[in-house]
Structure 1
Amino acid sequence: MSEFTGTYGGGFDAKKGRISVPAPFRAILSRLGAEEIILRRSRHLPCIEVWPKPDYMAEVNARVAGLSKLSAEYQSIMRKLVGRIHTLHPDTEGRVVMPKDLAEEAQFESELQFAGRGAYFEIWSASAYAAEEARLDAEDEGGDV
């Protein structure tokens, strides 16, 4: 399993549609030998999930293991998990051109936050990330997490 941890600021060049993956996350991708990354809209939060391609495809394959490729369930899962992703190849400096539809859905601004989630990392607009962190802090109310 990957070990994407921590939160890093970054920028979004809206004119070129480009982002740069933070160096600590690039190092993990390199160590994993993941030359390609998978980007997908989060189904739960206003952000983009970024997975090393081998890890993501292993998750997909685990979900459909044992299902007939002709079954409705297999086709539905594949449509959601494979048909709605973007596969990108970062350049040597970790830059990728963000698919326009993903940037618009996540309402990217010039300032971004890259947040590690263990197996993958998320890309947020800085304002949406701050709002989510405030919500979590308020919800926690002095808890142990």
Structure 2
Amino acid sequence: MSDFAGTIPGSFDAKKGRISVPAAFRAILTRIGAEDVILRPSRHLPCIEVWPKPDFMAEVERRVAGLSKLSQEYQSITRRLLGRVHTLHPDAEGRVVMPKELAEKAGLDGEIQFAGRGAFFEIWANAAFLEEEARLDALDDGGDV
């Protein structure tokens, strides 16, 4: 597992459709030898997941291990996991051009947040991130999390 952790503010250049991956997250990508990243819309939250390509492909392989490539289950899993992803190669400064459909789906528009999730990180519109954080804070019962 990679060790993406913390929350880092950033910005989305809507005119150029570009973001710059934070230096701390770029360092992790470099350390694990991930030149490409996989971007996909979260299936659970209004954000974009960013995975190191080798880790994402290993997760896909784990989920289809032992299945016939002709089986309905294999085709369904790969369609859901691979059919809506974008493979990007950050430039030397860590910039990527955000696919328009992902930017629109996540509502990116200026201020954004990069949120580490261990194996991957998320890109959030700032307002949506603050709303989700408030929702989580309201659920906090003082437990061990």
TM-score normalised by L of structure 2: 0.99
Structure 2, unpaired ranges of 5+: none
Task: State the partner residue of 1:70.
Answer: 70
1:103 is aligned to 2:129: no
CA apart distance, 1:144:
2.6
CA apart distance, 1:41:
0.3
CA apart distance, 1:87:
0.1
Task: State the partner residue of 2:94.
Answer: 94
1:83 is aligned to 2:80: no
CA apart distance, 1:15:
0.3
What is the total number of aligned residue pairs between the two structures?
Answer: 145
1:16 is aligned to 2:16: yes
Structure 1, unpaired ranges of 5+: none
Q: Secondary structure of the residue that 1:80 maps to in structure 2?
A: helix
CA apart distance, 1:141:
3.2
TM-score normalised by L of structure 1: 0.99
CA apart distance, 1:97:
0.2
RMSD, aligned CA: 0.6
Any runs of at least 4 consecutive aligned residues in structure 1 with deviations exceeding 6 A, and if so which? Answer: none
CA apart distance, 1:32:
0.7
Task: State the partner residue of 1:132.
Answer: 132
Q: Spell out, residue by residue over 1:30-81, the C-alpha distance to the aligned partner (whole angstroms, 9 max, x if none).
A: 0011000000000000000000000000000000000000001100111110
Q: Secondary structure of the residue that 2:43 maps to in structure 1?
A: coil
Which one-letter code corresponds to 1:90 in the other structure?
A: P
Aligned residues: percent identity?
75
